[in-house]
A and B are shown apart, each in its own frame.
Chain A
Amino acid sequence: MGYQRIEDQLHVVTQRGEVGFIPYLTVGYPDVRATVLLVETLAKAGATIIELGIPFSDPLADGPTIQKASLQALQHGVKVVDCLDVVTQARKRGVKTPLVFMSYYNPLLAHGLANIAHLACQAGADGFIVPDLPTEESGPFHDACAVEGMALIPLLTPTSSPERVALGCSKARGFVYCVSVTGVTGARQDLAPDIRPLVESIRRSTSLPVAVGFGVSRKEHVAAVGQFADAAVVGSALIDVIGKSPRRQVRSHVQAFVAELTHVKKNAEQVRL
């Protein structure tokens, strides 16, 4: 449970010589029921961890794709309690994969930090990623998560100084989220070139697994990430697939999309040669 489940799972994947695959879903996009089924689909397809985005009115770290998904979920009346319920339902359906909430800070504050950490833990979630909560401000929520054994996963970026990398890693649990670009979320053609030094700098500060996200959308990206990091996060590209699929085919399209992103071997580059 909690950060332990995340760390164990990433350890297993690494032992198998694979790159961890962490897909992102906006809860309630296209609807709450669909999200539960998609969690199950992703778990069965071999996702290492699944991120569940709690929709927010002002997602200022997100590009157009996730903004649109969030807005639509909110327009359909999706609440924080529905996000908790997705986790409860997924666990009831036997999903064992670690589940991590991605939420902006204000919805968490509105529900009370200790309260939301407790409710999330009760539902069966394992951690939180909060894109607008830098380490300096994370004390209260870090403590709330620690009480429940939940991970509060820090984000580090190409603009993080060595001091900031060390600071971020000092309180990390679960894994460290390495943002590949200076920018917002969204699928991109090419993976950012300057990501490797950042991951290496993170490695010097922590023995926790490192996941790379933002702009990761294809098998080549996942394989490239796997050369120096432990897992790849794919968000907007998956949301795009969901958005473009006819309602009844969402699950099969998602299944097809993620099939080649899971179980990517660490040495995939060499294999291709």
Chain B
Amino acid sequence: MATSKTTGKVPDEQGRFGPYGGRFVPETLMGALDELTKAYDAARNDAAFQAELVSLLKSYVGRPTPLTFADNLSRKLGGARIYLKREDLAHTGAHKINNAIGQALLAKRLGKHRIIAETGAGQHGVATATVCAKLGMECIVYMGSEDIVRQAPNVLRMRLLGAKVVPVVSGSKTLKDAINEAVRDWVTNIRTTHYLLGSAVGPHPYPMMVRDFQSVIGLEARQQILDAEGRLPDYVVACVGGGSNAIGTFHPFVDDSGVHLVGVEAGGQGMETGKHAATLTAGRPGVLHGSYSYLLQDHDGQVLEAYSISAGLDYPGVGPEHSYLKDMGRATYVNVTDAQALEAFQLLCRTEGIIPALEPSHALAYVRELAPRLAKDNIVVMCLSGRGDKDMPIITKALGMT
């Protein structure tokens, strides 16, 4: 099996992916970021750490997750063979747990037993609360008050798991503001606390570390498609908010030059309305939450409020490695609207008996357009990053099913 790496290794020592990434944070955090980088480097090369991680991923998370051939959907769309990487079947119902477990084990190594996290859709908050319960750590989750309303089921789950959910009422009251508040907590409690950041964003080493912990998705998928089809896919597709499921899925395929990588952002109510979260399509590089990357901002450098029906994609920034992959042309970034995502959502429910989350429904909406244009022997692998239970209130409302 060819696994040779041909592209340069990113990030560099400064946490740069080309010009992107870096560490744009208050001085108070710099020492802790150095400490975290060193601890992560050591853990990466520590067989005992890796063994504990692999064991938890297997026996607790339920990995490897299946790669499901969506035969009904493929037939209905009448083109490529579509495979779904089933992160919805991971414990807690989304890919977020892969990173949460990795970072929590790292925090334990650092002797930090107070864990803080931000959450948008609530999936990362649930994953973090779950891991903290399992590993016996204190857990505080910052969540925008707007998101608390639209993802109520996940708030209840976090509380049942013993986490304290702190509503954030500043700014747009969504994921971006939850991150601001988590950073403020971290600046204040830096000596005792690990910030378990949930996406491939933030200051170095987070984008690298989160990517690595999420790469289990792509590594498994790559092997599974080789086993199933005897060759690599033509397309790998994933939704992009901050971009952790996408970078985890893409990363093991980056050196496979024949594999097209497509990230799907939230087009919200349509690009022309300005109500969207398509950072890589409509943004320009800037600094938010500690790294230099594409950013939705106005001419004065103020960060714009993103919009999406999906709380997990509703973020005006994006992970720096996606900016890098975009600029070098290695990955392509497109966007689909709320309406397209909702149609794709229903399509998957009916054809495959799978209720996806609204986030991967965006990836699916793109696959729905892509597959019919491809030949019948083409292969598409899509990351189905989470299940849709959490979205029931918003979906019943959007589809008028009350």
Contact = CB atoms under 8 A, between A and B. Distances in A.
Partners in one complex: yes
Interface of A: 56-61, 63, 67, 71, 74, 79-80, 104-111, 131-137, 154-161, 164, 168, 179, 181-184
Contacts of B301: 56, 80, 106-111
A269 B302 CA distance: 44
A110 B184 contact: no
Contacts of B188: 181-184
A103 B176 CA distance: 19
Interface in B26-61: 26-32
B346 interface: no
23 contacts: A56-B301, A57-B303, A58-B180, A106-B288, A106-B295, A109-B287, A110-B300, A131-B26, A132-B287, A134-B23, A134-B30, A136-B30, A154-B27, A157-B27, A157-B28, A158-B28, A159-B27, A159-B29, A159-B32, A181-B188, A182-B188, A182-B189, A184-B187
Contacts of B274: none
A109 B300 contact: no
A63 B295 contact: no
Nearest to A160: B27
B27 A164 contact: yes
A60 B303 contact: no
B303 A184 contact: no
B183 interface: yes
Contacts of A135: 27
Size band of the B side of the interface? 35 or more
Nearest to A133: B24
Given A57-B302, A106-B301, A111-B301, A168 B27 contact: yes
A109 B286 contact: yes
A81 to B, nearest CB: 8
A58 B297 CA distance: 11
B181 to A, nearest CB: 8
Contacts of B351: none
B27 A106 contact: no
A58 B26 CA distance: 13
Contacts of B286: 106, 109-110
B14 interface: yes
B287 A105 contact: yes
A182 B190 contact: yes
Contact of B303 (A58, A155, A159): A58
6 shortest interchain CB distances as A-B pairs: A110-B301, A107-B301, A183-B188, A106-B301, A157-B28, A57-B302
Interface centre among A154, A182, A184 (most CB of B within 10 A): A182
Given A58-B288, A160-B27, 19 more contacts: A56-B301, A56-B302, A58-B177, A60-B179, A63-B184, A80-B300, A106-B286, A110-B299, A131-B26, A132-B26, A134-B30, A136-B14, A136-B22, A158-B28, A164-B31, A179-B28, A183-B28, A183-B187, A183-B188
B223 interface: no
Contact of B23 (A136, A160, A184): A136
A83 to B, nearest CB: 10
B179 to A, nearest CB: 8
A182 B28 contact: yes
Contacts of A132: 24-26, 287, 290
A156 B27 contact: yes
B171 A106 contact: no
B170 A160 contact: no
Interface centre among B23, B176, B188, B302 (most CB of A within 10 A): B302
Given A58-B180, A106-B287, A160-B31, A182 B187 contact: yes
A217 B180 CA distance: 24
A58 B300 contact: no
